[in-house]
């Protein structure tokens, strides 16, 4: 067996306190108010999201995990050997493990994840099971991707991996911008494997974001707990409630924190008044059809090379290449 490659130091570009404060103040200054969903993922938020993915109503992760083993042999044949894998929003690495097992002679794996705890836990586990793959973790917001550490071995192509329908958390314009950034990051011979949630029965979609156990509600409210701890805001968690509704005309879940009463919140010495029933937006979760997704890819200079759907079109995987 070849010796394990040396492990590079973590590239740590986590948003600092000043950045988080500026983002929150900007979101509270507009109407309707909004908080950035990327700040869901502190250590507790990442753990809660992992719990969400195991709830019976949350079909997305379960369906994608069932679909991946069925289609990865075909995808691996298209990717070829000696790829460099870069994953956006790597999370726990459950899907990553399936991908790395399917690909031949992976040169290096670079997970880009905003939660330092989730990133390091995942990389430690993967490094044990894939000792021949160089692990190059980057703790950062993938929408503001820093220069990625180069692998020691040369690769034949870069494969960007973006599972879990995270692309749907962005507006169409922002999603096209992310895809454009991927087009630049992958290079002329690169590919991107992206998970997308497909439009379907609104009741099925809405239930996924309102699990009976209340895990998603706890996850949403944890955002406020994190801000209170990290930027000294004073959100009263008992004064807000989680709300997720499917807007059929816009084909998306719109998740908000709704004020239960008239109240005042302080952030960085500034006061923000909330009316009773005032909703503060925290996340979108878009659902796509084929024409819409292909148009977004084209706008980013990409085209759909391969498409695979789970039974009943519950979830899809799309392989993109430069147009």
Q: pLDDT by residue (tens digit) across 79-105?
A: 999 999 999 987 778 899 999 999 999
CATH 3.40.50.150 fits 1-231+287-323, yes or no: yes
Query: DSSP string spanning 39-64?
Result: GG-SHHHHHHHHHHTTSTT-HHHHHH
Q: What are the tens digits of pLDDT across the range 222-249?
A: 999 999 999 989 999 999 999 999 999 9
- Could you state, in order of their start, the residue ranges of all structural domains in the chain? 1-231+287-323
pLDDT in tens, 131-158: 999 999 999 888 888 888 999 999 999 9
- What is the 8-class DSSP label of residue 279? E
Provide the mean pLDDT of the chain: 93
pLDDT at 2 over 60: no
Following DSSP, what letter does each residue of 202-266 receive, concatenated? Answer: HHHHHHHTS-TT-HHHHHHHHHHHHHHHHH-----GGGEEEEEEEEGGGTEEEEEEEESS-EEEE
Q: What pLDDT, on a 0 to 100 scale, did the predictor assign at position 1?
A: 38
Residue-wise pLDDT for 266-315, tens only, equals 999 999 999 999 999 999 999 999 999 999 999 999 999 999 999 999 99
pLDDT band of residue 3 (cuts 50, 70, 90) is: very low
């Amino acid at each position: 067996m070849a010796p394990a490659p040396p492990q590079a130091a973590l590239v740590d570009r986590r948003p600092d306190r000043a950045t988080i404060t500026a983002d929150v103040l900007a979101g509270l200054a507009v109407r309707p108010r909004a908080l950035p969903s990327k700040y869901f993922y502190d250590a507790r938020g990442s753990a809660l999201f992992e719990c969400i993915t195991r709830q019976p109503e949350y079909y997305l992760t379960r369906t994608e995990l069932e679909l991946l083993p069925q289609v990865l042999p075909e995808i691996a044949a298209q990717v070829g050997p000696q790829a460099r894998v870069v994953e956006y929003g790597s999370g726990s690495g459950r899907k990553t493990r399936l991908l790395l097992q399917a690909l031949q002679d992976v040169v290096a794996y670079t997970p880009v994840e905003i939660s330092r705890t989730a990133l390091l836990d995942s990389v430690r586990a993967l490094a044990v099971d894939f000792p021949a793959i160089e692990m190059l973790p980057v703790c950062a917001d993938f929408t503001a991707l820093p220069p990625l550490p180069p692998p020691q071995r040369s690769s034949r192509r870069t494969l960007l991996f973006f599972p879990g329908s995270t692309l749907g958390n962005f507006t169409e314009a922002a999603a096209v911008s992310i895809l454009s950034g991927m087009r630049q990051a992958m290079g002329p011979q690169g590919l991107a494997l992206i998970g997308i949630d497909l439009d379907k029965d609104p009741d099925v979609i809405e239930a996924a974001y309102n699990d009976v156990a209340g895990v998603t509600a706890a996850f949403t409210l944890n955002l406020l707990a994190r801000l209170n701890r990290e930027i000294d805001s004073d959100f009263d968690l008992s004064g807000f409630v989680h709300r997720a509704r499917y807007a059929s005309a816009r084909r998306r879940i719109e998740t908000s924190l709704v004020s239960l009463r008239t109240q005042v919140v302080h952030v960085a010495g500034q006061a923000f008044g909330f009316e009773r029933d005032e909703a503060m937006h925290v996340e979108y979760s878009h659902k796509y059809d084929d024409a819409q997704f292909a148009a977004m890819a084209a706008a980013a200079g990409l085209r759909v090379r391969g498409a695979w759907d789970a039974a009943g079109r519950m979830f899809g995987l799309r392989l993109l290449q430069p147009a």
